[in-house]
Structure 1
Amino acid sequence: MGGRAVVVGGGIGGLAAAIGLRLIGWEVTVVERARVLADVGAGISLHANGLRALDALGVGEAVRAVARPQYTGGTRTPDGRWLARMDGAALERALGTPIVGIPRAALHRVLRAALPPECLLVGAEVSSVDRSHPTRVRVPLDGDALDADLVVAADGVGSRLRTQLFPRHPGPAYSGSTVLRAVTEHPVALRTDFELTWGKGAEFGHIAFADGRAEWHAVVNSPAGVRPADALAAMRRRFGGWHAPIPALLEATRPDAVLHHDIHELATPLPAFTAGRIALLGDAAHAMTPNLGQGACQALEDAATLAAALATEPTVPAALSRYDTERRPRSQSVARAARRAGRMGQQLTHPLAIAVRNTALRLAPSRATVQAVLRHGDWAPPRLPLAR
C-alpha cells in the first residue's frame, strides 16, 4: 500500500515519520510553520528504544556517528555525594547499545538529510484539516490546499489538530515545573557523560557531547509563566553553590543561549491516537514530562510503528487501528511513569521525603538502576518492508 501523506510538524517525530513513510513507498510533504530552520534546542539523551527505532528507519548509524555514548554518571546531591551511579556498560551488554547524548540540532540535521529537500515545506501553517471526504484529507495552506490519503499530526504539545479532533479533551496541563537549558559555548572538562543532581524542588543535569561541549538543564518548581529578567544570572544564584562541574557549565554559557520553557503534559490521556485518516504522533499524542528522557524516544517509536503498520495492513484505516492499538498503551504508560519519576525526584520539597528517597537510592543495588532503564528502553522495533 502506498499513497500521499502530509506530515504536520518538522520536529523529531515529524521528520522520523516522513522518513519511515518514504521508506515504504509513500509520497510525503512535511509542513513546518517555522520560516527559518534554526535548529533551536539544547540536547537530549536517546535510549536504546529510540536508537532501535532510528535503526529501523535507516538512520541509526548516522545518529551514532555524531552522538556521544553515556557510560559514566548518575544521580547526586547538591554537595556532590552520589545517590546512584549509572553503569552504561551494563546497559550496553543488556541492550546492545549504550544511551547516547546528542545536540538536538545535530539530530535534526541527520533526519533532514535523509529526506529530499522538496519534501519540506517551510513557513506554512496548518491549523485545521477537512475530513469530509471519506477516503481523502484536505489540508488548507494559505489559500491553497494539499490532498492526502493520510495526515500525520506531529505538531507538538500545543497541537491544533489534536484540538480539532478531540474538542472535549482538556489539552495540555502545566506540570508544576519549568525548565531552563543551554549548550555551552565551548568544551567543558567533565568527568562523567551524564549527571542529574536533585535538590529541594530543583534538578540540575548535564549531557556531554562528542565535541566536548555539554548541554545543561535546570528544572525547578515554579508557577507557570514566571520569567527572570536575566535567566543565566538567576541560574548562577540558584545553583552556583552546587557541586562541580555545575558552576563551570554555567560559566561556559552565553546569556542569550539560555532557553526557558514551562513543562506541559497530557495529564489526561487521549481516548485514541487516530481519527479517520489522521494519526497523532509524538507530543501531539502523548506529551510527557522529561523525567525519564523518553519524550523523543517515544516519538521515534511512533514513527517506526506507523510506517510498519502502513506497509503491512491492506488499508489506511486498518493500519491506523493497529498503530493506535500498539502505541497508545505503551506511550501512555511511559508518560505516567515519567510523571511519577518527577514527583519522587525533582519535585520533592519535604525534607523527610527527600531523606527517605535519598536513602533508598543509596541502598539500592546497581542492578536496580539498570532494571529501571530496561523497563522502558528494551523495546523491539517492527521490521519495515522497504518499497521496491
Structure 2
Amino acid sequence: MRGTAVVVGAGIAGLATARGLLGAGWQVHVLDRAAGLPRSGTALGMWPEAMRALDFLGAGGQVRADAIEPRRARILRSDGTQLVDLSARQMPMLVPRPQLLAALAANVPDEHISRQHPVSAVSDLPDAEVVIAADGIHSPLREAAFGLGPRPLGTVAFRGTVAGPVSEVSESWGRSQLFGITPHDSQRTNWFASIRVQALAAAGDGGNAAQLLRNRYRTWHPAVARVLDSLTGEAIDQRTLLDLPPLPSYVHGRTALLGDAAHAMAPNLGRGACEALVDSAVLVEALRSARSVSEALERYDRVRRPRTTRIVRAARLLNRTSTASRLLPVRNAAVTLLGRLS
C-alpha cells in the first residue's frame, strides 16, 4: 500500500518513520518546531531490537559506524563496591543522539521537512491519509485525542559529557540518588545523575548545577569524582523526569502516536530511543503491507501498545528503586541476589 503521510516531529521516531515511508514509495511531509538537527546530546542505547529496526530502515550500517560497544556493565554502591556485574548479558551499542538523528535524516531530503513549524492541533495539518504524531512527551496531538499528559516520576535528572573516554558502563546507587557513566564516543564520556525531588528540597540545593552535583556526590567513589572534577563549563542538561500513564490506544482516527508521544518512560532502562525505533519499523511495515490504513494502524497498536506499556511500568519501578531513600541494605542485597540468579 502507498499513500500520503504527515509526520509531526523530526526527532528519532519522526525521522525514522519518514525515512521508512519514503523508501516504501509514500508521499511524506515532516513538520518540526526546531530550526534543525541538534548538535549535542548524550549517548543512547541501541539494543538488538533497535538495531534490527535500523537495519529494516536502511540506517543500521551508519549507526554501527558511529557507535561504541561497551566492554563491561556494572551496578555499584556509592563507595564503588559492586552489586551486579551485567557483562555476561547482551549489552546495547551506544551512539550519540546527533549521530543517530543524522543517520536517520540522511534519506529524508530537506524538501520533505518544514522547519520551525509547530503544530498544536490536527486542524493545523495539511491533508493526508495518515498523521504520525511523533511530537514528544508534551504532544498536543495526544492531549487533544486522549486528554492525557505526562506525570512526574519524583526525580530530577542531570546529564552531560566530559572529555576522556571510558570503556565500561556503570551505574552507582546511593540514598535518594544515582550516578551513571557510559562511553559517549572515542573522545568523551557520557554521564547522568538522578536525585529524588524531596532530597534536593530538603538539602536546599540550588544554583550552579556543577557545584550542586559536586556537593551531592562528594563522598562517592573515584570514578564519579573524576567525572565531576572534569566539569569545566560544559552544558549540563537539567530536567524534572516525567513519564506517561498508559493510553487506551496509540491510534486515534487516522493518527498514530509514536515514541515519547505514546509511551514516554523513565530513562533507567535505557530503552526510550530503542522503542521509538521499533515503533517506526512496525508502523512502516504495517502501512506498507496492509490492505488499508485502518488495518495498518490497528496492527501497529496491537503489536506495540502491550509491550511498551510493560516497559514504561518497569522503568518507573526501577527509577524508584535505584533512588530509594529507605531500606538500602535490603535493596542492595535484593539486587545482588537477582543478579546472581538471572
Q: What is the TM-score normalised by the length of structure 2?
A: 0.94
Give 3-state SS (helix, strand or coil) of 2:171's partner.
Answer: strand
Are positions 1:166 and 2:149 aligned together?
no
Identity across matched positions, percent: 37
Q: Write out aligned runs for 1:226-375 (5 A).
A: 228-266=206-244, 268-346=245-323, 348-350=324-326, 353-364=327-338, 366=340, 368=342
Aligned AA (2:45): S
Q: Write out aligned runs for 1:74-93 (5 A).
A: 74-87=74-87, 90-91=89-90
Equivalence for 1:33: 33
Q: Distance in 1 between matches of 2:339 and 2:170?
A: 18
Q: Distance in 2 between matches of 1:36 and 1:9?
A: 11
User: 1:38-80, CA deviations, whole angstroms, 9 ceiling, x for partnerless residues?
Assistant: 3343222221111121111111121111110122121001111
Are positions 1:126 and 2:125 aligned together?
no
Q: Distance in 2 between matches of 1:56 and 1:224?
A: 44
User: 1:250-284, CA deviations, whole angstroms, 9 ceiling, x for partnerless residues?
Assistant: 22234341001111111x21101011111000010
Contact map agreement 1:178 1:224 (CA 8 A) in 2: no
Contact map agreement 2:37 2:101 (CA 8 A) in 1: no
Aligned AA (2:261): A
Q: Distance in 1 between matches of 2:341 and 2:55?
A: 27
Equivalence for 2:11: 11
Segments of structure 2 that go 5 or more residues without pairing to the other structure are none
Q: Write out aligned runs for 1:107-186 (5 A).
A: 107-130=100-123, 140=124, 146-167=126-147, 169=148, 171-184=149-162, 186=163
Q: Distance in 2 between matches of 1:316 and 1:160?
A: 22
Q: Distance in 2 between matches of 1:165 and 1:225?
A: 35
Give 3-state SS (helix, strand or coil) of 1:257's partner.
Answer: coil
Change (3 A) 1:42 1:209: closer
Aligned AA (1:359): A
Change (3 A) 1:29 1:251: farther
Shift of 1:20: 1.5
Change (3 A) 1:251 1:113: farther
Change (3 A) 1:366 1:30: farther
Shift of 1:360: 2.4
Aligned AA (1:203): L
Q: Write out aligned runs for 1:198-237 (5 A).
A: 198-222=173-197, 228-237=206-215
Give 3-state SS (helix, strand or coil) of 1:115's partner.
Answer: coil
Greater shift, 303-312 or 117-126, is seen at 117-126
User: 1:298-334, CA deviations, whole angstroms, 9 ceiling, x for partnerless residues?
Assistant: 1111000000110111111111011111111111011
Shift of 1:297: 0.9
Q: Distance in 2 between matches of 1:231 and 1:104?
A: 22
Size of the aligned set, in residue pairs, is 339
Q: What is the TM-score normalised by the length of structure 1?
A: 0.83
